């Protein structure tokens, strides 16, 4: 019955009431059919059969008439009468044909079986009879009345006539039998119809009961179940499972929808719960962050205040540096003048050095001359010493001779001694002179060395003076550069001042913005607080819904 269960309710109702209607309609149809059948029977089987029977009777009559007319045709000699008889016979033949056609039509319509052969027999017989009749008529027409008559009464024709009559009678009987059968059938049909009505009525009642039960099970019960579930959902219990029978009708759709709804509710509830948890935590975080931002904002405010103070200080410093730069400029100019003087002094120093060098050279020359003359003196002294030594030796020899002379040599010995002492004195003097000469030599060499040193010193001094001059020049350059730099510094410190003013105003703006920031942060803090409370409340609210069984 799943296919039925899967139908739409509309369709189910259609089916149910439809079946009922169908039964009803079937009943009606059957009734109609039965009635119609009965009517048909009445008409065709009974009336038409009667009509057919009558027609067959008429056929017999016509046959008879025909026979009679043929005889009359043969008998009568009046052409006009003949013609009239012929005409009447033709009409009768036509009527017979029409009657046969009517019977055939009736047979065809009613479907009577066994009459067909009879009718065919009739037709055959009629055809053969009519052959004879036609022959007879022709003979009659041609005046061969005897032959015509002979033909007409011939046993063959009579046989044919008899056969025809029998067949027509047969047909009539068949039709009558048929009619009786039809009547019996009609009665039978009526009885059947009544029985059928009763059966159908019982079946309808049963089916109605069945439909009621089915509908109840298929529609009312699930609806009740769904209602129960909905009530539980309303009460806040989302733990139940909704069974969906997988029906594709509205109830199945409703069950599925309900299941989806419950699942969605559950999911959304869980999401809500998690969302609210997130909300709670996020609002806590926001609160924390906002508090931090507030703290940072206050820190920023203090930093900004410090920065503005610093900017003021920098401005002061820029002023000072400007002043200092101007001072440096003046000092640089003075230094330039001083370096000029220094350069002049250096030039004079160089000249002095040159002078000194010349003096040193002249001193050196004098000293060298002195040294040479000292050498000459040394040579002289050496010769004097030599003389002294020789005198000494001479004195010694004299003394020796004096000793050899004995008494007479004593005076000579004295003289010799005197000479020796003189020689000794002169030697001592020469020794002294030599000593002095040596000292002189030392002194002169010292002097020469000193002069050399002095010259070197002078050269060094010249170099130093030149270096000093160079340094002074470089210094002048540096000082002028410093002066230029000082000018630039002054300019840049001026710009610095302007910049500082801008910074100060910008800092004032920042301060203002920070103050606003702080106010906004306070508001934010309170909003975060309320958000947090809201989140907590919502969480409590959501947790009332039982999601986990």
Residue 458 C-beta: closest distance to other proteins, Å? 12
Residue 343 C-beta: closest distance to other proteins, Å? 23
The whole-angstrom separation of Cα 388 and Cα 328 is 81
In the complex, the residues that contact other proteins under the rule CB under 8 A are 389-390, 392-393, 395-397, 399-400, 403-404, 410-411, 413-415, 418, 420
Helix (H) or strand (E) holding 237: none
Q: What is the CB neighbour count within 10 angstroms for residue 11?
A: 14
Residue 309 C-beta: closest distance to other proteins, Å? 57
Give the nearer residue to other proteins in terms of CB position, either 291 or 417. Answer: 417
Radius of gyration of the chain (CA): 86
Distance of CA 381 to the CA centre of its chain: 125
| Residues pairing with 546 in the sheet | 237
Give the nearer residue to other proteins in terms of CB position, either 382 or 414. Answer: 414
With a CB cutoff of 8 Å and minimum separation 6, the contacts of 283 are 528, 531, 532, 534, 535
Give the nearer residue to other proteins in terms of CB position, either 425 or 488. Answer: 425
Angle between helices 79-110 and 49-75 (to 10 degrees): 160
The pair of structure tokens assigned to 166 is: 């029998």
Residue 388 C-beta: closest distance to other proteins, Å? 12
Output the CA–CA distances (angstroms, integers) from residue 372 to 2, 376, 379, 440, 455, in the order listed: 156, 6, 11, 11, 21
The whole-angstrom separation of Cα 268 and Cα 380 is 139
The pair of structure tokens assigned to 498 is: 């302007």
Give the nearer residue to other proteins in terms of CB position, either 411 or 477. Answer: 411
Give the nearer residue to other proteins in terms of CB position, either 117 or 453. Answer: 453
Residue 397 C-beta: closest distance to other proteins, Å? 5
Q: What is the CB neighbour count within 10 angstroms for residue 481?
A: 11
The Cβ-side half-sphere exposure at 168, using a 13 Å CA radius, reads 25
The whole-angstrom separation of Cα 25 and Cα 38 is 18
Dihedral sign (CA 92, 94, 99, 103)? positive
Give the nearer residue to other proteins in terms of CB position, either 390 or 509. Answer: 390
Q: What is the CB neighbour count within 10 angstroms for residue 221?
A: 12
Give the nearer residue to other proteins in terms of CB position, either 410 or 537. Answer: 410
Give the nearer residue to other proteins in terms of CB position, either 347 or 403. Answer: 403
The pair of structure tokens assigned to 185 is: 């059938």
The pair of structure tokens assigned to 534 is: 């809201």
Residue 329 C-beta: closest distance to other proteins, Å? 38
Give the nearer residue to other proteins in terms of CB position, either 64 or 362. Answer: 362
Residue 424 C-beta: closest distance to other proteins, Å? 8
Give the nearer residue to other proteins in terms of CB position, either 112 or 419. Answer: 419
Burial of 330 (0-12, 13-18, 19+ CB in 10 A): exposed
Residue 501 C-beta: closest distance to other proteins, Å? 59
Give the nearer residue to other proteins in terms of CB position, either 142 or 403. Answer: 403
Residue 356 C-beta: closest distance to other proteins, Å? 13
The pair of structure tokens assigned to 290 is: 């906002």
Distance of CA 193 to the CA centre of its chain: 75
Q: Are 74 and 140 in contact (CB under 8 A)?
A: yes
The whole-angstrom separation of Cα 543 and Cα 549 is 13
Residue 470 C-beta: closest distance to other proteins, Å? 22
Residue 398 C-beta: closest distance to other proteins, Å? 9
The pair of structure tokens assigned to 209 is: 């009961």
């Amino acid at each position: 019955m799943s296919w039925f269960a899967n139908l739409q309710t509309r369709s189910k109702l259609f089916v149910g009431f439809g079946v009922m209607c169908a039964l009803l309609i079937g009943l009606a149809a059957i009734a109609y059919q039965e009635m119609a059948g009965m009517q048909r029977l009445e008409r065709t089987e009974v009336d038409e059969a009667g009509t057919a029977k009558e027609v067959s009777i008429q056929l017999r009559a016509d046959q008879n008439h025909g026979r009679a007319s043929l005889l009359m045709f043969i008998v009568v000699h009046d052409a006009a009468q003949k013609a009239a008889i012929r005409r009447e016979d033709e009409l009768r033949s036509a009527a017979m044909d029409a009657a046969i056609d009517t019977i055939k039509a009736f047979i065809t319509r009613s479907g009577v079986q066994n009459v067909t052969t009879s009718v065919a027999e009739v037709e055959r017989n009629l055809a053969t009879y009519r052959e004879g009749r036609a022959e007879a008529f022709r003979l009659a027409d041609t005046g061969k009345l005897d032959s015509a008559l002979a033909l007409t009464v011939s046993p063959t024709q009579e046989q044919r006539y008899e056969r025809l009559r029998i067949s027509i009678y047969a047909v009539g009987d068949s039709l009558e039998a048929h009619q009786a059968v039809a009547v019996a059938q009609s009665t039978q049909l009526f009885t059947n119809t009544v029985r059928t009505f009763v059966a159908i009525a019982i079946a309808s009642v049963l089916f109605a009961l069945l439909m009621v039960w089915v509908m109840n099970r298929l529609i009312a019960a699930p609806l009740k179940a769904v209602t129960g579930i909905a009530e539980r959902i309303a009460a806040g219990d989302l733990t139940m499972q909704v069974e969906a029978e997988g029906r594709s009708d509205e109830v199945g759709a409703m069950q599925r929808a309900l299941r989806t709804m419950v699942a969605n509710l559950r999911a959304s509830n869980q999401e809500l719960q998690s969302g609210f948890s997130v909300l709670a935590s996020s609002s806590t975080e926001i609160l924390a962050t906002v508090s931090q931002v507030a703290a940072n904002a206050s820190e920023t405010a203090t930093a900004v205040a410090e920065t503005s103070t610093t900017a003021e200080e920098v401005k002061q410093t820029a002023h000072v540096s400007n002043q200092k730069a101007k001072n440096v400029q003046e000092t640089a100019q003075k230094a330039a003048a001083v370096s000029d003087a220094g350069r002049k002094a250096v030039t004079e120093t160089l000249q002095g050095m040159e002078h000194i060098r010349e003096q040193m050279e002249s001193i050196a020359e004098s000293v060298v001359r002195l040294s040479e003359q000292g050498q000459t003196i040394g040579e002289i002294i050496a010769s004097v010493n030599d003389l002294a030594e020789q005198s000494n030796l001479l004195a010694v020899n004299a003394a020796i001779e004096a000793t050899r002379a004995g008494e007479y040599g004593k005076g000579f010995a004295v003289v010799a001694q005197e000479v020796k002492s003189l020689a000794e004195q002169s030697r001592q003097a020469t020794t002294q002179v030599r000593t002095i000469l040596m000292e002189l030599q030392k002194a002169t060499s010292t002097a020469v060395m000193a002069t050399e040193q002095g010259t070197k010193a002078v050269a060094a001094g010249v170099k130093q003076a030149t270096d000093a001059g160079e340094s002074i020049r470089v210094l002048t350059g540096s000082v002028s550069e410093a002066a230029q730099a000082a000018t630039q510094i002054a300019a840049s410190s001026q710009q610095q001042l302007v910049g500082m003013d801008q910074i100060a105003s910008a800092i004032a703006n920042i301060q203002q913005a920070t103050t606003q920031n702080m106010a906004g942060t306070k508001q934010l803090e309170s909003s975060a607080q309320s958000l947090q409370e809201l989140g907590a409340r919502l969480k409590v609210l959501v947790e009332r819904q039982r999601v986990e069984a």
